[in-house]
Amino acid sequence: MNTGTSADTRSANLGMLGGGQLGRMFVHAAQSLGHRVTVLDPDPASPAAAAADEHLRAAYDDEPALARLAATCEAVSTEFENVPAAALRALAERGCRVAPSADAVAVCQHRLREKQLFVRAGVPCAPHAAIESEADLDTPALDALLPGILKTATLGYDGKGQVGVDSRAALAAAFTSLRCAPCVLEKRLPLAAELSVIVARARSGAIVHLPLQGNVHRDGILAVTEVPAPGLSRATAEAAIAHARRLAETLGYVGVLCVEFFLLADGRLLANEMAPRPHNSGHYSIDACDLSQFDLQVRTLLDLPLPQPRQHSSAVMLNLLGDLWFDAGTGRAREPDWPAVLALPGAHLHLYGKREARRGRKMGHLTVTAAQAGEARHIAGQAAGLLGLPPLPYVPSPSQPPASPTSPPP
Ligand code: ADP
Ligand code: MG
């Protein structure tokens, strides 16, 4: 028995490759369990590094920085899809616990390998073809994929690296404009809704998931997430969760994985893409669930228990892009009216501490929670109005007025 007056604690030092907002929220979750975090990111103004215990300011493939991370950290994760898988591999080879693995990240970083995984796991996805060279443009079968979207196989995000194509000529021009980088041509589909699911898988194979997220994108960037996803059937929700679990299992994945889905008007559910990390559409879980996606990331990294997360409030999340820092009429720089937003009941404001607002840059998010979905939607609509965002999608029709924000739930 230890009868002394001091004892060592079991707090761990964790490493994070990538220093954006996802890393910042991971730091908050890790620190709330008493752990320390070292962030590796070249940006001196990294949002995650501002919150972390240590900042290694170096490139992701910088050998001395990776050596220090391996020497000082018990386990390392990543928050940025484009961190080279080789960096994760180098850390694992140095005996560091790494989750997700380099191999799993490499699949999610490459749209063609990702599609091959969907097929292997029996998860339906959009009709597509690989366009890896100019010779591939001559394939007759491509006609069936037009109109389509040409997407670079690697390094795309938030709609970047994508070109809509309506004809063979447009396809050839788009391939040239993407510098003939390896691409996937996908058929453009009539989307009824976009959904996503976050699963967390432990080293033991145990899997839990967050509820299904309903997402609305504007200009290729996530704009709104609503949970529960409106109008979603139980069968669709169960199918999406089963697909996401199967993908994690097929990959032997450890960590947090987000799978995006398209729901078509005829009810078909197709996997779109995966992110080997927490995801923008999962941010609501911080305020609306008893375990957030970042808590799950910490737990899977450290082999901590993984109970099924429970959603305790309905939630609507609004992404706050840098555009909000510019007056829509005059184009002049301005600070959004945060006091007005913070006065709304159930409004949880998360700003990422970025020093410079740029159009299209993710600066923060606002999650509105409420006991009832209609109430969350109603107050989120008010917040959108105050911020100068477009009116919310999913606003209930006038025949179904939203619950008054001040009235107690029935
Ligand atoms: P990113 O990596 O930029 O998120 P996605 O493949 O998810 O790339 O595409 C971004 C958005 O573009 C999707 O959320 C969806 O709104 C739209 N989109 C992508 N592929 C298709 C498609 N095949 N048909 C219709 N819309 C699509
Ligand atoms: Mg996407």
- The SS3 assignment for 213 reads strand
Confidence of residue 405 (pLDDT cuts 50, 70, 90): very low
Mean of the per-residue pLDDT values of the chain: 93
Res 394: pLDDT: 53
Whether 221 is in the pocket of ligand 1, judged by its Cβ within 6 Å, is: no
The number of CA neighbours under 13 Å toward the Cβ of 178 is 29
Compute the distance from residue 273 Cα to the ligand 2 centre, in Å.
6
- The SS3 assignment for 258 reads strand
What is the mean predicted confidence (pLDDT) over 385-399?
A: 72
Whether 159 is in the pocket of ligand 1, judged by its Cβ within 6 Å, is: yes
CA distance 242 to 251: 14
Whether 189 is in the pocket of ligand 1, judged by its Cβ within 6 Å, is: yes
Amino acid, single-letter form, for residue 11: S
Residue-by-residue DSSP string for 59-101: -TT-HHHHHHHHHH-SEEEE--TTS-HHHHHHHHHTT-EESS-
Confidence of residue 409 (pLDDT cuts 50, 70, 90): very low
Residue-by-residue DSSP string for 258-300: EEEEEEETTS-EEEEEEESS--GGGTTHHHHBSS-HHHHHHHH
Compute the distance from residue 274 Cα to the ligand 2 centre, in Å.
8
Res 1: pLDDT: 57
Q: What is the CA radius of gyration of the chain?
A: 22
Confidence of residue 254 (pLDDT cuts 50, 70, 90): very high
What does the pLDDT look like over 142-156, one tens digit per residue?
A: 999 999 999 999 988
Residue 329 has pLDDT above 50, yes or no: yes
Whether 126 is in the pocket of ligand 1, judged by its Cβ within 6 Å, is: yes
What does the pLDDT look like over 78-133, one tens digit per residue?
A: 998 778 889 999 999 999 999 999 999 999 999 999 999 999 999 999 999 999 99
Res 137: pLDDT: 93
46 secondary structure, DSSP code: -
Whether 21 is in the pocket of ligand 1, judged by its Cβ within 6 Å, is: no
Whether 41 is in the pocket of ligand 1, judged by its Cβ within 6 Å, is: no
**366 vs 405, higher pLDDT:** 366
Find out whether 178 and 150 touch, Cβ atoms under 8 Å: yes
By C-alpha distance, which of 18, 12, 11, 55 is closest to 277?
Answer: 18
Q: Which atom of ligand 1 lies nearest, measured to the CA of 151? A: 6
Whether 114 is in the pocket of ligand 1, judged by its Cβ within 6 Å, is: no
Whether 218 is in the pocket of ligand 1, judged by its Cβ within 6 Å, is: no
User: From atom 2 of ligand 1, which residue's Cα is the shortest distance away?
Assistant: 157
Whether 194 is in the pocket of ligand 1, judged by its Cβ within 6 Å, is: yes
Residue 303 has pLDDT above 90, yes or no: yes
What does the pLDDT look like over 154-192, one tens digit per residue?
A: 988 777 889 999 999 999 999 999 999 999 999 999 999
Compute the distance from residue 39 Cα to the ligand 2 centre, in Å.
25
Res 157: pLDDT: 76
Whether 191 is in the pocket of ligand 1, judged by its Cβ within 6 Å, is: yes
CA distance 255 to 298: 9
Ligand nearest to the CA of 149: 1
What does the pLDDT look like over 351-388, one tens digit per residue?
A: 999 999 999 999 999 999 999 999 999 999 999 999 99
What is the mean predicted confidence (pLDDT) over 294-309?
A: 97
Place of tokens 């490759």: 17
Domains of the chain: 13-98 (3.40.50.20), 127-187 (3.30.1490.20), 191-387 (3.30.470.20)
Res 229: pLDDT: 95
Select from 108, 149, 224 the residue to mutate for testing ligand 1; criterion: most ligand atoms less than 8 Å from CB: 149
Compute the distance from residue 409 Cα to the ligand 1 centre, in Å.
37
Confidence of residue 8 (pLDDT cuts 50, 70, 90): confident
User: From atom 8 of ligand 1, which residue's Cα is the shortest distance away?
Assistant: 159
